[in-house]
Amino acid sequence: MPVIRHKSVDYVGMFEYKKEDEEALIRSLIFADVVVLAMAGEFTLGPPDLRPKTAAVLLPGLPAYILFMCIRHTDHVNDDEKVRRLLTAAINGVKRVVKKRRDDADSLVMWLANVCRLLHNLKQRSSRRTLRKQNEQCLKSFDLSEYRQVLSDVAMWIYQLVIKLLEERVQPVVVPAVLEHEAIAGLTGRPAGIRGRAGSSSRQLESPVSSEHALDALMASLRKIYRTLCELGVDPEITAQVFKQLFYSICAHSLNNLLLRKELCHWTKGMQIRYNLSHLEQWCRDNRLHQDQETGVMDTLQPIIQASQLLQARKTEEDVSRVCDMCDKLTSPQIIKILNLYTPDEYEERVPISFIRKVQDHLQKHREPDTDSSARLLMDTKFAFPVRFPFNPSNIRLEDIEIPDILNLPMLKKL
pLDDT tens digits for 52-108?
656 555 788 899 999 999 999 999 999 999 999 999 999 999 999 999 989 999 889
pLDDT tens digits for 318-364?
999 999 999 999 999 999 999 999 998 877 788 889 999 999 999 99
Whether the Cβ atoms of residue 49 and residue 30 lie closer than 8 Å to each other: yes
Q: What is the pLDDT of residue 408?
A: 85
Single-letter amino acid code for the residue at 107: S
Question: What percentage of the chain reaches a pLDDT higher than 90?
Answer: 61
What's the pLDDT band for 40 if we cut at 50, 70, 90? very low
Judging by beta carbons within 10 Å of its beta carbon (0-12, 13-18, 19+), is residue 402 exposed, middle or buried? exposed
pLDDT at 198 over 60: no
Q: Average pLDDT of 386-395? A: 92
What's the pLDDT band for 400 if we cut at 50, 70, 90? confident
Of 82, 97, 90, the C-alpha closest to 66 is: 90
Gap between the Cα atoms of 342 and 359, Å rounded? 14
Q: What is the pLDDT of residue 59?
A: 84
pLDDT tens digits for 199-247?
443 444 466 778 889 999 999 999 999 999 998 999 999 999 999 999 9
Q: What is the pLDDT of residue 128?
A: 55
With the C-alpha atoms ordered 402, 407, 114, 300, is the resulting torsion angle positive or negative? negative
Whether the Cβ atoms of residue 362 and residue 327 lie closer than 8 Å to each other: no
pTM for this structure? Answer: 0.87
Q: What is the pLDDT of residue 236?
A: 94
Enumerate the domain spans of the chain: 15-159+391-414, 236-366
What's the pLDDT band for 48 if we cut at 50, 70, 90? very low
C-alpha angle with apex 369: 368 to 374, nearest 5 degrees? 80
pLDDT at 134 over 80: no
pLDDT at 31 over 80: no
What's the pLDDT band for 47 if we cut at 50, 70, 90? very low
- What residues are paired with 43 via a beta bridge? 37
What's the pLDDT band for 287 if we cut at 50, 70, 90? very high
Mean pLDDT of the chain: 84
